[in-house]
Amino acid sequence: MGAVEEDIMDMNAFKWIREPKIYHIDSERVEIVTEPYTDLWQRTYYRFRNDNAPVLQMETDKKFFSFVVKTDFSDSRHRFDQCGIVMYLDSENWLKCSVEYENGKFSQLGSVVTNDGYSDWATAPVPADVKTMWYRFSRREDDYRMEYSEDGVHFNQMRICHIKKGDGKITFGIYACSPENSSFKAVFTDMELTECQWRAHDGQQPD
């Protein structure tokens, strides 16, 4: 991959992992219709291993960049329906962030980091009438930052994390799934790849 440009994404650079039955892709929009019982999760608490969600992502060895996307999940109405950003390296090493539908009162804005086959999940409730969300995924070498925004301008940090296998060439992009018996249309727009918006730390220096 060459220099990072602030521009519309080249969707020809994206490849499917587990291509869904129903989807649409053009230069400005991706739509994924989820299938029931699709998810990404590894072991922790629930003890099960789910690794069948569709993932659309591209590959890069760029060490510093940010990726932005707007998600629209207006169609989600069942528990755990979700769509968002993902960095899927293999079945046991990945991260994701999304809004997961919970009930008619609230949803869960959350992020999951999976290293060596064990997932964690950090969440915060958002009102159920929130039906769109922007995400920004930033890389600084083998460390990563996930942010969210309700307007695409002002971003708030969700998490800083380290991925053990995330120090070389990586793959990242978008995903959508329905872990229970449901289906919905997830819509992704306004995708951009930019220079890294996660600035170098200006406090205590490394040991």
Spell out the domains of the chain, with CATH numbers in brackets: 11-194 (2.60.120.200)
Output the pLDDT for position 173.
98
pLDDT of residue 1: 39
Q: What is the pLDDT of residue 2?
A: 40
Helical H runs in the chain?
Answer: none
Task: Write the single-letter amino acid at 144.
Answer: Y
Going by C-alpha positions, the residue among 120, 165, 123, 121 that lies closest to residue 144 is 165
The pLDDT score that the predictor gives to residue 49 is 95
Torsion sign across C-alpha atoms 162, 175, 170, 191: negative
Q: Mean pLDDT by 10-residue block, N- to C-terminus, for the chain (207 residues)? A: 55 96 96 98 95 98 98 97 98 98 97 98 97 98 97 97 96 98 98 96 86
CA–CA dist 134, 162 (Å, integer): 22
In DSSP terms, 148 is beta-bridged to: 135, 156
pLDDT of residue 4: 45
First to last CA, the chain: 32
For residue 31, give the nearest of 67, 80, 72 by alpha carbon: 72
**How would you write 139-199 as a 3-class SS string?**
EECCEEEEEEECCCCCCEEEEEEECCCCCCCEEEEEEEEECCCCCCEEEEEEEEEECCCCC
pLDDT at 8: 65
| pLDDT, position 207 | 81
Q: Is 74 exposed, middle or buried (0-12, 13-18, 19+ CB in 10 A)?
A: exposed
CB atoms within 10 A of CB 195: 12
From the list 53, 58, 55, the residue with the least C-alpha distance to 11 is 58
Instruction: Write out the two tokens for 161.
Output: 């994390």
Beta strand 93-101 pairing with 82-90: antiparallel
